[in-house]
Structure 1
């Protein structure tokens, strides 16, 4: 899963949570429960503008405990450190957004291709083999030249050696020539799926015959 997808999921979950809490707080602050004739949740504290979020008993319940303030300070410190780490992780980008493409014979013309377009072309070129079930390629930064990181999943009985030869002579060579690079280092991770046991395949086949699909 890409970092952008993880960020969208986390931000969406946090946004929905904050939106829901904010709506409940706003409903209590504007006294909407009484105006609309709605019965608020039984344990929800914000039911009217005059009622505090926490009662005095709730606020003073754990103050006398020796572990209370260390726990509060420690929890808030962990929260702040986690948020700072997440922010630094977003600022430190390992991927490339675009890369320059040489234009010989066209003086003054500067051409750039997006990294996503190049990655899509590499993935499609890798997935042309029938034994490739899934292929993912990413273009990352490197000190001198861009670097490729790929992850390929092969069907049971797939040939990793043949895949490496195809990747070297096909997608990687084409990308290096298109970008005008003398070198394009690549790291390719290959996973070969295991074949299902014969007994399991027979059992699944019998189950399908017992319960035919009606269209």
Structure 2
């Protein structure tokens, strides 16, 4: 969710900057000598190259930083935050594949039916392991976001989530250890205006 927000903000800023630059170049009010002139004339390039030797290095460093940031952003997009599937041991030596979305939907439906829960969203992620290589995914982890109604008791909702809901998910998926992180939020009800 945070990554989606950062993406929207970055794309919005980049879009506004590119739009402003495009409008400035296409209008006759271009401040650097007119619409049909280059951004840097040959005289300006010579002056900056010889008189201000640091300027080109600063431009190259700025472009290098932009390339590194763009590559970092691209790699962040390619990294999967959700697990697509979980292997379930059937007990007779065979394994079944449980789709991650199916497990998420089942836990969300069961947790959403709890008393005092207005809405629930669940994401199945890969847990980062301490052993082995850094960043290696060792097992699934649930991230549960509960939106509670104003009358709900957070401790009761958390106890019901940690008890029956998660134990049912562990049994169903064949995962004796299925850690979960819960985030609770209270809904805000706005009073209706009576006319």
1:153 and 2:140 matched: no
1:135: Cα distance to partner?
2.0
Q: How many residues were matched structurally? A: 180
1:70: Cα distance to partner?
4.0
Unaligned runs of 5+ in 2: 130-137
Question: For the residues of structure 2 that align with 1:15 and 1:166, how far apart are their CA atoms?
Answer: 45
Unaligned runs of 5+ in 1: 25-39
Q: When the two structures are superposed, what TM-score results if normalisation uses the length of structure 2?
A: 0.66
Retained in 1: the 8 A contact 2:88–2:175?
no
- Of structures 1 and 2, the one scoring higher in RCO (CA 8 A, sep 6+) is 2
1:137 and 2:102 matched: no
1:58: Cα distance to partner?
8.7
1:146: Cα distance to partner?
1.7
- Indicate how the Cα distance of structure 1 residues 12 and 141 shifts in structure 2: closer, same or farther if over 3 A, else same: same
Which residue pairs with 1:123 in the alignment?
108
1:112: Cα distance to partner?
1.0
Tell me the C-alpha RMSD between the 2 structures: 4.2
Retained in 2: the 8 A contact 1:134–1:154?
yes
* Deviation per residue, 1:87-127 (Å, 9 max, x gap): 3434544431111123345x65x421221221122112111
* Deviation per residue, 1:127-172 (Å, 9 max, x gap): 1135223322221223353211222222223211111122123331
1:180: Cα distance to partner?
1.1
| Higher strand fraction (1 or 2) | 2
Retained in 2: the 8 A contact 1:101–1:111?
yes
Question: For the residues of structure 1 that align with 2:40 and 2:81, how far apart are their CA atoms?
Answer: 49
